[in-house]
């Protein structure tokens, strides 16, 4: 491999960004506090490991289940077409789209964009390094700020996502001249969980909570039910976007901490801040 070739330099850079670095000292001591981890079951392991490494106890209660779209044929049809740009919204979008792609492979011709680092890693694992990835916060707004997306007049753009995703990204791309379509390859559902044992021992076991979207918060409130609502709202919460922070405060959460990024490391750092500054609001 010629590492001086620009593509290979980018390839090595992206791959390195997803290789775990040597462990640095834990950002704090979570002091055996129980942390509610609400990521989907298949995506929770990394955060749980980091919480344990910082001296906390990860309590898994996946608040969203990921399932294939109820009708995959519209997405299959769109994924077989020719596009100038394909935008993948999440790791789930990558993984759920692969069985629907021709030959089960990502296309080589269009530019491919990933909203975040985990999505970029999933694309790389599937054989295609993304051309566009935000470098600051990993969200639609940060992707839209990239210079390559400022002018899209006449460009055919496909957003690969779950059903009923946010319209912010698509609306902005249309305003910039894109011919836009959505391939909805998965759906988010409410998991079947019995919260009774968790709620019964909440005060003893749960001291902190995490949520990565407003939908997670909605589902979490549904899962804990009326008996757990006050307990959940009184639990300090870490979120990964400003819009989720606003939603959490409107729901009545007493303390909300915004992580700098949507990464597991940033979530743990925010948990540490909650532990180190217990009196802040």
Report how far apart the first and last C-alpha atoms of the chain are (Å, whole number): 53
Cα(59)–Cα(38) distance, integer angstroms: 9
Are residues 196 and 160 both part of a single domain?
no
Are residues 184 and 101 both part of a single domain?
yes
Cα(188)–Cα(163) distance, integer angstroms: 8
pLDDT tens-digit profile of 232-252? Answer: 999 999 999 888 999 999 999
Residue 45, pLDDT score: 93
Are residues 197 and 59 both part of a single domain?
yes
Are residues 252 and 169 both part of a single domain?
no
The more confident residue out of 174 and 28 is 174
With beta carbons less than 8 A apart as the criterion, state whether 97 and 160 touch: yes
Give CA angle at 271 (269, 275), nearest 5°: 115
Cα(41)–Cα(55) distance, integer angstroms: 21
Q: Among 220, 203, 224, which Cα is nearest to 212's?
A: 220
Q: Scanning the structure block, which residue is given the tokens 């294939």?
A: 68
Q: Which of 173, 189, 205 is the last residue of a domain?
A: 189
Cα(121)–Cα(117) distance, integer angstroms: 6
Are residues 152 and 49 both part of a single domain?
no
Number of domains, the chain? 2
Give CA angle at 146 (141, 147), nearest 5°: 140
Answer yes or no: is 110 within a domain: yes
Answer yes or no: is 167 within a domain: yes
Decide the pairing of beta strands 34-37 and 57-60.
parallel
Answer yes or no: is 128 within a domain: yes
Are residues 80 and 139 both part of a single domain?
yes
Answer yes or no: is 9 within a domain: no
The more confident residue out of 167 and 95 is 95
Helix residue spans in the chain (DSSP H): 6-17, 45-53, 73-79, 91-97, 117-125, 140-144, 168-175, 196-200, 202-205, 214-233, 242-251, 264-276
8-state DSSP, 205: H
Q: Report the CATH number that the domain containing residue 119 is assigned in CATH.
A: 3.40.50.10090
Token pair recorded at residue 153? 């007049």
pLDDT tens-digit profile of 152-167? Answer: 999 999 999 999 877 8
What is the span of the domain harbouring residue 149?
67-189
Are residues 146 and 75 both part of a single domain?
yes
Answer yes or no: is 13 within a domain: no
Mapping DSSP onto H, E and C, the string for 216-232 reads HHHHHHHHHHHHHHHHH
Residue 26, pLDDT score: 60
Answer yes or no: is 20 within a domain: no
| 3-state SS class at 38 | coil
Q: Which of 152, 174, 189 is the last residue of a domain?
A: 189
Distances (CA, A) of 188 to 27, 74, 87, 118: 33, 18, 19, 18
With beta carbons less than 8 A apart as the criterion, state whether 132 and 116 touch: no
Residue 36 host element (H or E): strand 34-37
Are residues 83 and 56 both part of a single domain?
no
Answer yes or no: is 8 within a domain: no
Are residues 260 and 158 both part of a single domain?
no
Are residues 181 and 203 both part of a single domain?
no
Share of the chain above pLDDT 70, in %: 88
pLDDT tens-digit profile of 23-76? Answer: 445 668 899 999 999 998 888 999 999 999 999 999 999 999 999 999 999 999
Answer yes or no: is 15 within a domain: no
Q: Which of 131, 159, 189 is the last residue of a domain?
A: 189
Are residues 216 and 268 both part of a single domain?
yes
Q: Among 152, 43, 168, 22, which Cα is nearest to 93's?
A: 43
Are residues 94 and 181 both part of a single domain?
yes
């Amino acid at each position: 491999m010629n590492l001086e070739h620009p593509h290979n330099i980018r390839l090595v850079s992206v791959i390195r960004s997803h290789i775990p670095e040597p462990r640095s000292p834990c950002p704090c001591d979570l002091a055996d506090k129980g942390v509610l981890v609400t990521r989907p079951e298949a995506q929770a392991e990394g955060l749980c490991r980091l919480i344990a490494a910082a001296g906390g106890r990860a309590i898994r209660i996946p608040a969203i289940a990921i399932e294939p779209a109820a009708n995959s044929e519209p997405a299959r049809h769109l994924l077989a077409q020719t596009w100038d740009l394909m935008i993948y919204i999440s790791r789930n979008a990558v993984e759920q789209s692969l069985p629907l792609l021709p030959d089960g492979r990502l296309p080589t011709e269009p530019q491919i964009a990933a909203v975040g680092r985990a999505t970029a890693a999933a694309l790389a694992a599937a054989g295609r390094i993304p051309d566009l990835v935000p470098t600051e916060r990993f969200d639609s707004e940060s992707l839209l700020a990239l210079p390559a997306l400022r002018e899209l007049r006449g460009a055919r753009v496909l957003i690969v996502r779950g059903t009923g995703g946010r319209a912010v990204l698509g609306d902005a791309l249309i305003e910039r001249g894109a011919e836009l379509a959505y391939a909805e390859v998965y759906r988010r559902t409410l998991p079947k969980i019995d919260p009774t044992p968790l709620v019964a021992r909440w005060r003893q076991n749960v001291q902190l909570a995490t949520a990565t979207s407003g939908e997670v918060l909605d589902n979490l409130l549904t899962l804990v039910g009326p008996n757990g609502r006050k307990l959940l709202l009184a639990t300090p919460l870490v979120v990964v976007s400003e819009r989720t922070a606003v939603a959490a405060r409107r729901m009545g959460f007493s303390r909300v901490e915004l992580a700098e990024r949507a990464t597991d490391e940033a979530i743990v750092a925010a948990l540490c801040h909650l532990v180190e500054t217990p009196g802040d609001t």
